[in-house]
Amino acid sequence: MASVRRKTRGPVGTAAAVAGGLVRAAWLALALTVAPLSLPAAAQSVPATLMADQVYVDGAGRLVATGSVEVWHGSTRMTAERVVFDRRQDQLQVEGRISVSDGPDQVILADAAQLSPSLRTGIITSARVMLDQQLQIAAARVRRGDNGVSQMDSVVASSCPVCASNPTPLWEIRADRVTHDENTRRLLFEHAQFRLAGVPVFQAPRLVLPAPGNPRLRGFLRPVFGMDSSLGFSVGMPYFIPFGDSRDLTLTPVLRTSGSVTLGFRWRVARQNGGIEIGGQISRDTIRPGELRGYGYFRALFQLRDDWRLTADVLIPSDRTYLETYDITDDPRLNGHVTLERIQRDQAARARILGFYSLRAADVNDELPNRVAEADLDRRIGLEATPIGGELRLRMGARAFWRNSSINGVRGRDVARAHVQLGWRRSGVLPGGVLVTGALDARVDHVRVSDDIAYPNPVTRRALQGMIEFRWPWARVSDAGVSHVVEPVVQVIGSSVSGGALPNDDHTMPELDGGNLFALRRYSGEDAPDDNSRVNAGLRWTRHDAEGWTGEALVGRIWRRSPLAGFNPAHVQPLGFGASNWLIAGRVSNADGYALSMRLLVDANANLTRTETNLAWQGTRTTVSTTYLYLPASAFESRTTDLSEWSIDLARRFGNGWASTVGWNYDVGQNLFATARAGMTYRNECLSMDLSLTRNFVTSTNPTASTSFDLRIELLGIGGRAPGDGGSTCRA
């Protein structure tokens, strides 16, 4: 059944009664002819609705609707100035400013059309098709078929805006014919010509592209261009092969002017609860003639039952220089893991296997702990409803690591340990606003050491710690709305330790900062725990301004009853003496985007032993970040010379879609650059371009300097790539 609704404008008199009879006649004609003939048998109950300023039946028996005509049939909506329905031909003649839309995925604008009553088949002339609000296709004629396939003649396709001030789009594809298959969501261009700024670039007899919203069409992806001082100019053409909706393979052959040939690959499998990814690349180059080089990686993520999660991330190179030479990563040490964990409100459990591999030329991997297995359980038990109060923490764990070397001593030492730890903590407020916290912590470690006769086997160590902490915040607010908070903090910790000494393999870079000054256990490792009696004291100041300025400062130090066990007193480091370095840290920021943070470590002789300063500013279009780091030479941390490095990164976004970046890492101590980088990006409604230049100087993992150049160009509005929101190529 179909229905007709009529718009009314102004007073209606006797003529309205006559028109009402014509409308009823038109409604009857549409009910008897349009609905049964335009709908499939399974959907004949779906009504068609017509609304217009005027509807009548002419002398030839045709139904005529004029003036702001709107027709709905299912999800399809059409607007026009005049529609004529010919019952004998079962056809709609549509004229004047036509718009046919089937949801937001497809909109057709035209001047004239001959359509079936279902609006899904017919011929449209002088049409412009908008697919998924991304890709525009202008065609002299569009033939819509009842099988979801449309053919367009004399086509110009682009996602760039076209207007009077800029009639030539930045890029366009011209073709004699385009076939749009809505079922497979792909576009077939016949005798296609690609133009850039109106200039023909290449031609193809057939060109298949994914329609907007279809990111899984088999075929070539965007090309990747690069330039490297060692490898020469390169061109990569990724080829995407989907296997259903849950698996796909991407092959990327890369050719270089230096004679290097590379094949990259990536295999992905998706499941309802996660997925896996396997990839890498294989190369034959002139850097190591006759050798087959490459790398491979494996990643996985699965959500299992009862909140368990399984993750994996493993990367394996063929040699130490391949990853940096081919710009895969510049990390000096690789680490991989397979982890099973569950994180809940009051409990965390984790089991994992780890592997480590150093890319530094001076490191001997067989003498490093490159295989690790560990398991941990952390349980919180709330005691708020009991007279004791506070919370109880139970921690249990086991860990073991192995070296491939069997040399006696540190170069071949293997260690396995298990521990149980029980802690209690409670806080309260004393009269006068003093915050007090008490804590108890007991731990037992059982350790077995192999390939090192300096340590007995096994070793059991017991440690009991008690802590009381006082914080007395003082607050003041000025008449101008500026608030100050000054908070002195004192921690007194008593400790009792029994058992033999343990080797320190997992905590060889001790740190002191605002995050661990008042921590009961401040180390990332467990071989050298902070478990002797000590006093931690500091003064914290915070300032808040109503105009957006915020300032923070912290000064603190640690005093010990005896030097920290596990560290050689001859090695300079901030924690291993009877008194630690002075910690001076602060941060200043405001609402305009400025932020300055600083951390200084000063020894008892007022010598600067470590510093880190970061200055950042983020404006409307400009972002600046610069960092200065100073670390003195330390045999304990395997650093033979002072490290003094300055890095800076500057980014500027221009209003016309262009953006630039520049940055470098500079070794102040040795007066040389470590890395220099620059980049330029452009993004508008239909094009994205990314150009980057990187200069890598001699490093511990790459003995030769190199320069790399990378260019990536992407046509937006094709496939799953949405148009950009950057600069515009069309101005009003």
SS3 content of the chain, % helix, strand, coil (to 5): 5, 60, 35
Q: Which residues, 6+ apart, have CB-to-CB distance to 17 below 8 Å? A: none
Q: Does domain 3-167+175-196 have CATH number 3.40.50.800?
A: no
The Cα 529–Cα 517 span in angstroms is: 14
Provide the pLDDT for residue 569: 64
pTM above 0.85, yes or no: no
| pLDDT computed for residue 286 by the predictor | 85
Encoded tokens for 614: 């970061």
Token look-up 């890369």 returns 254
Q: DSSP string of 648-697?
A: EEEEEE-TTSEEEEEEEEEETTTTEEEEEEEEEEEEBSSEEEEEEEEEE-
pLDDT in the model for residue 165: 67
Instruction: Measure the CA–CA gap between 24 and 17, rounded to whole angstroms.
Output: 11
Are 126 and 154 within 8 A, CB to CB? no
DSSP H helical ranges for 321-443: 322-325
- Length of the chain in terms of residues written: 732
What pLDDT, on the 0 to 100 scale, is given for residue 501? 75
Strands 391-402, 706-715: pairing is unpaired
Interatomic CA distance for residues 564 and 533, integer angstroms: 10
Look at residue 355 and give its three-state secondary structure. strand
Residue ranges covered by each domain of the chain: 3-167+175-196
pLDDT tens column, 547-557: 888 999 999 99
Structure letter (DSSP) for residue 507: -
Torsion of CA 717, 722, 728, 732, to 10 degrees: 80
10-residue averages of pLDDT along the chain (732 residues): 40 36 40 33 53 86 87 85 85 87 82 83 87 85 85 89 75 90 86 88 85 79 78 88 92 91 96 96 90 95 96 95 86 93 95 93 87 96 91 95 90 93 94 94 92 86 93 90 94 88 76 86 73 90 89 94 68 77 94 92 88 93 94 76 90 90 88 87 85 77 70 73 54 48
CB 729 within 8 A of CB 170: yes
Helix (H) or strand (E) holding 26: helix 14-38
Single-letter amino acid, residue 630: Y
> In the chain, what is the straight-line distance between the N-terminal and C-terminal CA atoms, in Å?
47
CB 27 within 8 A of CB 3: yes
Amino acid code (one letter) for 350: R
> Are 283 and 313 spatial neighbours (Cβ–Cβ below 8 Å)?
no
Distance set, CA 643 to CA 269, 629, 630, 670 (Å): 44, 8, 6, 9
C-alpha distances out from residue 225 to 113, 233, 234, 426, Å:
45, 8, 6, 60
Per-residue pLDDT reduced to its tens digit, 680-732: 998 887 888 888 888 877 755 556 677 788 888 777 777 655 555 555 555 54
Tokens of 457: 């086997």
Q: Is 134 helix (H, G, I), strand (E, B) or coil?
A: coil
Looking up tokens 């007899």 gives 205
Distance, CA of 160 to CA of 168 (rounded, Å):
9
- Other C-beta atoms within 10 Å of 584: how many? 18
Of 167, 164, 165, nearest to 198 by C-alpha is 167
Q: Which DSSP category does 163 fall into?
A: B
- The whole-number pLDDT of residue 401 equals 93
Selection from 356, 330, 360, 403 nearest residue 638 by Cα: 360
* Dist. CA 300–CA 138, nearest whole Å: 44
Angle ∠(631,637,638) on CA atoms, nearest 5:
105
**Secondary element (H or E) of residue 617:** strand 608-618
Judged by DSSP in three states, 42 sits in: helix
